Structure 1
Amino acid sequence: MAKRIVRDPEKTRAQILNASFMEIYSRGFNGVGVRELAAKADVTIGAFFHYFPTKSHVGYAIVDEIIHTGILDRWIKPLNAYKNPIQGILKCFKNTFDNWPDEYVALGCPLNNLTQEMSGSDELFKQKTRAVLEDWIAKTREHLKRAQQGGYLRKNVNTQELAEYIVTFQEGTFAMGKALNDRRIFDSMYNSLKQHLEALT
């Protein structure tokens, strides 16, 4: 009697999604095809299309489920542990770039990469990447307001503008590392951010 193969749909979908993320991050969305993504995930083309009707759909899922979640895990959730959110923002920045793998320095930020590559040709990509950025800014602002309430940030500081500055600075640091392919820029950027934020306390 043949052994029955039990498939785990959630595991298979996650396998496709994670493998596709790494391929697209390394080579760009337009630099890889569905056959290559399926092969990297070790699934058939049919299995790929069962979970993702098009390559664009796996891209949308990457933005929603991997990139957005990763940003919240890296930049926002850790701030809850800090009585002074300004210290938390600086600590998250330093930890992120101190621990960023050398092989990823020249790849930059996956959100920024997809925004630049796809927002001009795919309206849904544009909407999704914009939504991630807007949420990132909004949640950063919530912690800045908390900093003001706790007396760690001057009352006259515009928290919306500062949140936009911080997120832009975080993204810009990835971009500088990518452009220069040199992680030494991370220390320089950290020192600049630290000086700026401490001047507002």
Structure 2
Amino acid sequence: MTENKRTNDPEGVRRRIIDAAYDAFITQGYLATGMLELRERASVSGGAMAHHFPAKRDLGLAVIRDRVAEAVRQTWIAPLHTSADVPAAIDLIFENIINELMHNGRVSGCPLNNMAMDVSHHDSEMREVVSAVFGAWHEALSAKFARDAEEKHASELNPHSLATLVIAAYSGAMAMAKARQDVSPLIDCRMELAALLAAKYRLR
């Protein structure tokens, strides 16, 4: 049946491999996960695995491009486009993340941070792809802050540095939440970012 799936639905097999790899890389780490384990997780043959991903780094790159980048887009970038301003977007994003983690009963960490920590020192191409995802995230936040500054006549806002602060604060809070298996750091971060941004937005 596995071979039939591979023959009849190669794109479905590829997605299944990437889905299995994404879950494994995020929960236990890229370096700690072997290709044999991923074959078993995805229920594919060695031939199917080799056809789609001849090397582990090929799979790692696909996971970053297809799944990690999409997770950042859905979690962070999309809400920025639909919210009134950055503070409203950030509060909604944190609320959604905290609620999801509490529902799941575990904290696996930020997919982008997890991959960055694992691969950045080992592979220059993977480092560049991870950096590009961070760049897209930072650019989306900066652009929204810039629009807010223009619309609210808040020239004191520094879009670039505020975007850096938000990403760094969230990333650190998520790392702490993962280490503790407790969402409290994210709750604290949400509250303090809201207070900080409210103060900055009042200074106009």
Letter in 2 for 1:7: N
Q: Deviations over 1:86-133 (max 9, x none)?
A: 21122112221222254441x211211121121111111111111111
Q: Deviations over 1:56-102 (max 9, x none)?
A: 11111111110011101111112222222321122112221222254
Letter in 2 for 1:27: Q
Summarize the alignment of residues 37-48 of structure 1 with structure 2, pairs less than 5 Å apart: 37-48=38-49
Runs of 4+ in structure 1 deviating by more than 3 angstroms, as ranges, are 101-104
Inter-partner Cα distance in structure 1 for 2:27 and 2:81? 32
Identity %: 27
Query: What's the secondary structure of 1:148's corresponding residue?
Result: helix
Give the TM-score taking structure 1 as reference length. Answer: 0.91
Listed as ranges, the gaps of 5+ residues in structure 2 are none
Inter-partner Cα distance in structure 2 for 1:199 and 1:181? 31
Inter-partner Cα distance in structure 2 for 1:183 and 1:190? 11
Inter-partner Cα distance in structure 2 for 1:66 and 1:109? 12
Summarize the alignment of residues 135-146 of structure 1 with structure 2, pairs less than 5 Å apart: 135-146=136-147
Query: What is the aligned partner in structure 2 of residue 133 from structure 1?
Result: 134
What number of residue pairs does the alignment pair up? 196
The 8 Å contact of residues 74 and 92 in structure 1, kept in 2 or not, is answered as yes
Deviates more, 1:58-67 or 1:84-93: 84-93
Listed as ranges, the gaps of 5+ residues in structure 1 are none
Give the TM-score taking structure 2 as reference length. Answer: 0.90
Q: Pairwise CA RMSD of aligned residues?
A: 1.7
Summarize the alignment of residues 97-116 of structure 1 with structure 2, pairs less than 5 Å apart: 97-100=98-101, 101-105=103-107, 107-116=108-117
The 8 Å contact of residues 75 and 93 in structure 2, kept in 1 or not, is answered as yes
Inter-partner Cα distance in structure 2 for 1:45 and 1:97? 38
Inter-partner Cα distance in structure 1 for 2:84 and 2:186? 25
Are 1:72 and 2:73 matched, yes or no?
A: yes
Are 1:171 and 2:167 matched, yes or no?
A: no
Query: What is the aligned partner in structure 2 of residue 117 from structure 1?
Result: 118
The 8 Å contact of residues 85 and 146 in structure 1, kept in 2 or not, is answered as no
Deviates more, 1:158-167 or 1:83-92: 83-92
Query: What is the aligned partner in structure 2 of residue 159 from structure 1?
Result: 159
Letter in 2 for 1:148: A
Using the TM superposition, give the Cα deviation of residue 190 of structure 1 relative to its aligned residue in structure 2, in angstroms.
Answer: 1.0
Query: What's the secondary structure of 1:199's corresponding residue?
Result: helix
Deviates more, 1:67-76 or 1:23-32: 23-32
The 8 Å contact of residues 35 and 56 in structure 2, kept in 1 or not, is answered as yes
Letter in 1 for 2:90: I
Query: What is the aligned partner in structure 2 of residue 185 from structure 1?
Result: 185
